[in-house]
Structure 1
Amino acid sequence: MTAAALDLTGFIRHENGAARLDLAVEGMTCAACIGEIEHGLQELPGLVGARVNYSRHRLTVNWDERRLTPSAILDALRRLGYRAQPYVAREAEEAEAQRMQHLLKCLAVAGFASMNVMLLSVSVWAGNVSDITPETRDMFHWISALIALPAAAYAGQPFFSSAWRAIRSRHLNMDVPITLGIMLGLGMSIVETMNHAENAYFDAAVTLLFFLLCGRVLDQAMRRKTRAVAGNLAALKAATARRVEADGTLTLTPAEALRPGERVQVLPGERVPADGRALSGESAVDESLITGETHPRDVASGDTVYAGSLNRNGTLTLEVTAAGEATLIDDIERLLEAAQEGRSRYLHLADRAARAYAPIVHGAALITLVVWMLTGHSFHDAAITAIAVLIITCPCALALAIPAVQVVAAGTLFRANLLLGSGDALERLAEADTIVFDKTGTLTVPDPRVANAPDVPADLLAVAGRLALSSSHPLSAAVAREAGRAAPFEAVEEHPGEGVRTVAGGVETRLGSPAFCGFTDHPQPSGADTSLVAVMLGDRRALLEIRQTLRADAVRVARELARQGLSLIVLSGDRPDAVAPVAGQLGIEAWRGGLKPQDKIAALAALKAQGRKVLMVGDGLNDAPALAAAHVSLSPVTAADLTQAQADGVFLGDRLAPVLAAVRVSRRARRLMLQNLGIAAIYNLIAVPLAFLGQVTPLVAAVAMSGSSLLVTANALRARLGADRDARAEPAVTAPPGVAIQEGLS
């Protein structure tokens, strides 16, 4: 479809006097594509800005409509070698699946071809030392060519297209020497077959493709990002709203059509459709997914309410203050996109190695060709030797050095209840020197518990749990967990604002406020983050303290992380008086409470400006932009879906130990990655001089290249036992409780 054929009218938005369009870009294969696209478009007159989000393959362009047209932007992209179309979340997800499917097809074709060509090659090798006739050998070579050439043409597409784009943009990546090695190997094999030579190298070319595609598929599988972000945000937004008209009647209208100044009615159990100010009514509003606040917030006339909040138990009439794309949820989405764009520019270890490696490979092969020609050798001999150098230095070991370690480490972390969502997360985890924790649901267990349950008589606790099963109060869920599998009482009466009661076995039984249950001395909670619920069974009474409790191993993990040299900080959207005791228990002196998403982004930016590399651990929707903005991030499996989508890893269970395992295993994995790169370098230092002197044929070069790949893979597997031991190790308890204080945060 040409640029002129695309109807972009419905996809163009306007902001700050400029037109904006989100485009899905096909053909992006590495981080280098970001600079190529952005710099290539900057030359267009009237372009205001161009930002590439590599993880989502999305390009956002802003332009002056008086000087530039959308078709001109698409034409410029096409000249750069990329195709683009309007970005639609569902289509982007389908495109991601198609890319993975194409890689798997390429891998299957390369595997099939390499097995069959290798069988033919074995027959030729055996025949060369026995009684094979030249005619039979040539036939086997031509059959190999018939299999290898179409297979390489199809299976090599991911490398060929990437190499061509790199050459067009005047830079080198790892796919350039791979493409040259494969093409020259196949070309020289055809020449050798036509000249009835004993050896051809079709097997080396397709086997190399198979090994490299294994690494590419593995890397793509670990990089694949969830595409559910838009759906998760939509689930938090009310689709419709009850608009109050001037005459007091109610009109059901799409939430997107609301305008500031209009009035809306929100019933109990509904999500707030827009940011607004309460005009009438009283209720408790659950904002835990928006702000991170633990307890439902009481709302009365004059209070502010955010879109996406859940109205608990009262009808509210609101005056809309922000609607459409101006609500807090939309601000979170914009922060999220900006943070993702920043992270997508991370230059991976393999990419950095390839930048230095590719010119050396090309230079060595070219020098070999020139030197052999100048010393009187024929072009045929010089070309054979140059190709041997190119094949023996082909970065198969380099391409597998990183993914091989990633597989071992990811498996180890899986056994430690941590699931990684991106391949480069291990590299960034190993670089982290500061850990920023959210409080609610991260350092604490996600749901409130009866903190003093061991001190409450068992029969009273059981009665309280059964009564709670019939209550709609937000705190009742914490008490209901104490009921186990017991059934609720029958004929339970609910007294709004007070509690629930029933008569069980002729005995008055109540659950609710202390006054409702007969307490006359107005007992006070033991802390600012504690709520009191009373239970009464006849003349007996007890107080239940409801609060979020620390994860069982949080104190030990915090101390061990500090002993590992990491600075620990707590940044929470919860009330400061609820954050302080948690930070105190963990020995973390740097903490802040009451933060909005943009406040957390600003705090992370301040840390980054100080040269810190932050591991962010959080679970709320308000943490999602911070998770995306951090150098690396983790979230518990109980986190909001949107939050999990932005994290580099998700840990399971009620313990914090997987965070410690992530630090230990990733640091070990990075050391192994560097070792593997060193092995590849040492291998080249030994093999290249031999190939340059003509002591290594292309066939031997291919075998040596495969051997180096096996060597780096074995080195990665060697770490498994040690990494498992680290992942299972219990945190030390002898470390001092103090941790490094990050100035400017507390």
Structure 2
Amino acid sequence: MSPAIDYSALVETRPDGSRRLELAVEGITCAACIGDIERGLATVPGLDRARLNYTNRRLAADWTAPQFDPGAIVARLAELGYKAHPFEASREEARDEAEMRFLLRCLAVSGFAAMNIMLFSVSVWSGNVSDITPETRDLFHWISALIALPAAAYAGQPFFRNALRALRNRSMTMDVPISLGVCLALGMSLYETIHSAEHAYFDSAVMLLFFLLLGRVLDQVMRRKTRAVAGNLLALRGETAVVLGEDGQARETPVKGVRPGDRVLVRPGDRVAVDGEVISGASEVDASLVTGETAREPVGPGSLVYAGTVNVSGALTVRVTAAAEGTLLQEVNRLVETAAGARSRYLRLADRAARIYSPVVHVTALATAIGWLAAGAGLHAAIITAIAVLIITCPCALALAVPATQVVASGGLFRAGVLLQSGEAIERLAACDTVVFDKTGTLTTPDPRIVNRAELDPGLLALAARLALSSRHPLASALAAEARGQRPFEGATETPGQGVSAVVEGEPARLGSAAFCGAEAQAQTVLGASPDATVICFAHGARRAVILMRQVLRPDAVAVVAELKRAGYELAILSGDREEPVARVAAQLGVENWRAGLKPAEKIAALDEFAARGRRVLMVGDGLNDAPALAAAHASISPVTAAHLAQASADALFLGDRLAPVVDAARLSRRAVAIMRQNLWIAVIYNVVAVPLAIAGFVTPLIAAGAMSGSSIIVTLNALRARLGSRPTPSPETAPSAALPPHRPATLAP
């Protein structure tokens, strides 16, 4: 007997004081399992929240009660018929591989059996209208039975197991009517064979399993592809790092053994295994994973590097800030998993519809049998017709309508640089007709840039940037980016509140305030022409330079705003910044509706005004003061560089320095919702047409199996169109006008 697991050792304490336990759950086969598990865990005393990620079968359970026993979660899952164990990525990958291999074996068995049974069935069908003898027909039926019964017993396991578990827990999943239909078709066929009847339906039952397994394999493949994005990201992190000991010796160490504060050597050509700050060396890194830019980024002392980036040229010594846990790469992975498991209102609607649909199917089939008996038909004909109704009304297409699209769209949004983190993000984004931007850090770059570069002496600017490497002031940090991997000056000292000084080329050099550098007159002159900017001064001997710093527009801001206008969105800027810089940005972008100097409560009030006019607002912001507005808006999106509170309040995050992902989010979410709506209509129309035909007796179990499976395949293939709609993020020179059609409010009501 295996030892009991101490689940309390696996509990994670979160920044807000709550506690979380993540478990891998076995036995999940359809979207209906999500509701069963989450509703079942809602009855556990002390558990605040349980969320199941359908994509990776991971359960996240949160609570705040100090005496809560996490083992109660596992016990309740066992009562519901699900097995849980601690989540381990490698173990889950192996389990997924095993599950896929099992599904493929089931698919192969059912396909092989269906083909062979069909050969005998064709012979029987043709012989029934010609000269087949009863003895030959019976032989063919018995051979079909010998093939079908063991094949169905093996290939039907994915459905039978879940159906039995659902019945034991007095719940209803899609697998219940599937299993019932298959078993009834096989049972009736065996009865017909024993009594030497002309027709048997072994082919229908096995073909039904084949097409259902095909749909399940396709669903598994789509989920695995979405997970593969995150898996590939984590694979980009090296498994080992070269740690420099106190004695200067380099030791190859597993990443799990690296601690914050350690010094790591990153050799040319190596992939960076940790997040950290460069303390020595100069190089270029391929940081496209983090920034979205393919251009190589120069780094030097003071520069930040991230796990997954590639060191291109020189050797770097990096002080570790995060290694096995807490890296940017892992944060991106967490967001991708959240996106894959996000369930919109439409998905819950489909779950509820499938849950209601199953008992309706059974009642309809029973009513059909009773009706045929009441009309004078024999028991045989009544049962055959009821089986056809049960098969043709299987809710597979309805259940696939939304989750298949959700999974594909989440992957498409990720490829466009958008990471979903809200359960209703796709629906909310698609429904918005107004876009409200914050200015600082959203329409503009997060860090200030030099705006009077052409007026400066390049030599002085280079010296100032190198001296800025020795300062921690935000403006100096922005200026230090111009140093391009150079080393700080030796002996530099920083005067708090004033600036940094050093002896450079035999003369004193100072970087900081105008008074500290003796450049008050020059600073006043420069600020007179640009009152909304900030200055940082530099003095080297008798020479002076006044460097004008300002946050500049993101590279594609003008193109994105123009595209949103063309698509029919109403635009506005709500900023807490001063009126002058907000007015300048609004004029550059052509946005007429703007407000400046707003406090968080005033931003919410402005959003309420939009809502009062019937507008649905997409809020785009990044600061702490934007967090309440992000939470209050109909939908919200933030840069991945936003403050943590803003990230937590947003429905989605976007990567890189460009705003194009905002357009992509609107375009792809609208497309996804349209496809969800189409899929639901396909499922509804299919049943409206098929059910009356089955009840009237015009549909045999074979035709029913083909029609039902065909509808599921159509829904799945239609969902793949959400992936085809994704495209690379455009350059600032190329407005994405062809990709974003005029806005139309999206709903799913049939």
- TM-score by shorter chain over 0.5: yes
Q: Does 1:656 pair with 2:659? A: yes
Instruction: Pick closer, same or farther for the CA change 1:188–1:458 going to 2, 3 Å.
Output: farther
Q: Aligned equivalents of 2:685 and 2:367: distance in 1?
A: 20
Structure-1 residue corresponding to 2:50: 52
Q: Does 1:669 pair with 2:683? A: no
Deviations, residues 566-599 of structure 1 (Å, cap 9, x unaligned):
5667778x77789956875664536776659xx9
Query: Any residues of structure 2 matched to 1:62-81 within 5 Å, and which?
Result: none
Instruction: Pick closer, same or farther for the CA change 1:387–1:225 going to 2, 3 Å.
Output: farther
Report the Cα offset of residue 408 of structure 1: 6.1
Report the Cα offset of residue 419 of structure 1: 5.2
Letter in 2 for 1:110: C
Query: Any residues of structure 2 matched to 1:370-449 within 5 Å, and which?
Result: 370-403=370-403, 405-406=405-406, 409=409, 413=413, 416-418=416-418, 425-433=425-433, 435=435, 441-449=441-449
Structure-1 residue corresponding to 2:212: 208
Q: Does 1:548 pair with 2:544? A: no
Letter in 1 for 2:392: I
Letter in 1 for 2:376: G
Report the Cα offset of residue 479 of structure 1: 1.9
Structure-2 residue corresponding to 1:688: 691
Query: Any residues of structure 2 matched to 1:69-468 within 5 Å, and which?
Result: 91=87, 104-128=100-124, 129=126, 134-135=138-139, 138-153=142-157, 155-156=158-159, 159-160=162-163, 163-164=166-167, 168-169=170-171, 174-188=174-188, 191=191, 198-200=200-202, 201-215=205-219, 218=222, 346=345, 348=347, 349-354=349-354, 357-403=357-403, 405-406=405-406, 409=409, 413=413, 416-418=416-418, 425-433=425-433, 435=435, 441-468=441-468
Does the CA-based 8 Å contact 1:113-1:151 persist in structure 2? yes
Q: Aligned equivalents of 2:681 and 2:64: distance in 1?
A: 44
Instruction: Pick closer, same or farther for the CA change 1:77–1:416 going to 2, 3 Å.
Output: closer
Instruction: Pick closer, same or farther for the CA change 1:48–1:404 going to 2, 3 Å.
Output: closer
Report the Cα offset of residue 211 of structure 1: 0.7
Instruction: Pick closer, same or farther for the CA change 1:117–1:352 going to 2, 3 Å.
Output: same
The worse-fitting range, judged by mean Cα deviation, of 134-143 and 723-732 is 723-732
* Secondary structure at 1:521 match in 2: helix
Report the Cα offset of residue 661 of structure 1: 2.1
Structure-2 residue corresponding to 1:730: 735
Deviations, residues 538-580 of structure 1 (Å, cap 9, x unaligned):
65533222333231233553465466565667778x7778995
Does the CA-based 8 Å contact 1:668-1:723 persist in structure 2? no
Q: Aligned equivalents of 2:577 and 2:109: distance in 1?
A: 63
The worse-fitting range, judged by mean Cα deviation, of 407-416 and 621-630 is 621-630
Structure-1 residue corresponding to 2:482: 482
Report the Cα offset of residue 59 of structure 1: 4.5
Does the CA-based 8 Å contact 1:499-1:516 persist in structure 2? no
Does the CA-based 8 Å contact 2:600-2:629 persist in structure 1? no
Does the CA-based 8 Å contact 1:501-1:511 persist in structure 2? no
Q: Does 1:589 pair with 2:594? A: yes
Q: Aligned equivalents of 2:175 and 2:605: distance in 1?
A: 38
- When normalised by structure 2's length, the TM-score is 0.63
Does the CA-based 8 Å contact 1:439-1:570 persist in structure 2? yes
Query: Any residues of structure 2 matched to 1:480-519 within 5 Å, and which?
Result: 480-484=480-484, 488=486, 492-497=490-495, 498-504=499-505, 511-519=511-519
The worse-fitting range, judged by mean Cα deviation, of 606-615 and 634-643 is 606-615
Does the CA-based 8 Å contact 1:34-1:345 persist in structure 2? no
Q: Aligned equivalents of 2:384 and 2:490: distance in 1?
A: 90
Does the CA-based 8 Å contact 1:628-1:646 persist in structure 2? yes
Does the CA-based 8 Å contact 2:226-2:411 persist in structure 1? no
Does the CA-based 8 Å contact 2:107-2:214 persist in structure 1? yes
Q: Aligned equivalents of 2:605 and 2:180: distance in 1?
A: 47
Instruction: Pick closer, same or farther for the CA change 1:347–1:101 going to 2, 3 Å.
Output: farther
Instruction: Pick closer, same or farther for the CA change 1:141–1:535 going to 2, 3 Å.
Output: farther
Q: Aligned equivalents of 2:680 and 2:355: distance in 1?
A: 13
Instruction: Pick closer, same or farther for the CA change 1:571–1:540 going to 2, 3 Å.
Output: same
Instruction: Pick closer, same or farther for the CA change 1:194–1:468 going to 2, 3 Å.
Output: farther
Is there any run of 5+ residues in structure 2 with no aligned partner, and where? 234-275, 278-334, 739-750
* Secondary structure at 2:535 match in 1: strand
Q: Aligned equivalents of 2:638 and 2:100: distance in 1?
A: 30
Q: Aligned equivalents of 2:7 and 2:433: distance in 1?
A: 45
Q: Aligned equivalents of 2:224 and 2:606: distance in 1?
A: 32
Report the Cα offset of residue 173 of structure 1: 5.2
Deviations, residues 35-90 of structure 1 (Å, cap 9, x unaligned):
7336645xxxxx5775434457344568899xx999999877765556779xx8xx
Query: Any residues of structure 2 matched to 1:487-636 within 5 Å, and which?
Result: 488=486, 492-497=490-495, 498-504=499-505, 511-521=511-521, 523=523, 530-536=533-539, 540-558=543-561, 560-561=563-564, 584=586, 587=591, 589=594, 615=618, 617-618=620-621, 632-636=635-639
Q: Aligned equivalents of 2:84 and 2:393: distance in 1?
A: 36
Report the Cα offset of residue 390 of structure 1: 1.9
Does the CA-based 8 Å contact 1:185-1:202 persist in structure 2? no
* Secondary structure at 1:398 match in 2: helix
Deviations, residues 689-709 of structure 1 (Å, cap 9, x unaligned):
222222222222222223323
Structure-2 residue corresponding to 1:700: 703
Report the Cα offset of residue 659 of structure 1: 0.8
Does the CA-based 8 Å contact 1:632-1:648 persist in structure 2? yes
Report the Cα offset of residue 534 of structure 1: 2.4
Instruction: Pick closer, same or farther for the CA change 1:445–1:127 going to 2, 3 Å.
Output: farther
Does the CA-based 8 Å contact 2:184-2:387 persist in structure 1? yes
Letter in 2 for 1:548: Q
- When normalised by structure 1's length, the TM-score is 0.63
The worse-fitting range, judged by mean Cα deviation, of 640-649 and 344-353 is 640-649
Identity of aligned residues (%): 43
Does the CA-based 8 Å contact 1:661-1:727 persist in structure 2? no
Instruction: Pick closer, same or farther for the CA change 1:199–1:173 going to 2, 3 Å.
Output: closer
Q: Aligned equivalents of 1:390 and 1:667: distance in 2?
A: 35
Does the CA-based 8 Å contact 2:343-2:406 persist in structure 1? no
Aligned length: 604
Structure-2 residue corresponding to 1:237: none
Deviations, residues 259-291 of structure 1 (Å, cap 9, x unaligned):
xxxxxxxxxx99xxxxxxxxxxxxxxxxxxxxx
Does the CA-based 8 Å contact 2:138-2:193 persist in structure 1? no
Deviations, residues 350-375 of structure 1 (Å, cap 9, x unaligned):
33543564454333322222222223
* Secondary structure at 1:544 match in 2: strand
Q: Aligned equivalents of 1:34 and 1:592: distance in 2?
A: 47
Q: Does 1:709 pair with 2:707? A: no
Q: Aligned equivalents of 1:84 and 1:22: distance in 2?
A: 11
Report the Cα offset of residue 125 of structure 1: 4.2
Structure-2 residue corresponding to 1:738: none
* Secondary structure at 1:57 match in 2: strand
Q: Aligned equivalents of 2:453 and 2:672: distance in 1?
A: 43
Instruction: Pick closer, same or farther for the CA change 1:568–1:351 going to 2, 3 Å.
Output: farther
Letter in 2 for 1:52: A
Does the CA-based 8 Å contact 2:113-2:151 persist in structure 1? yes
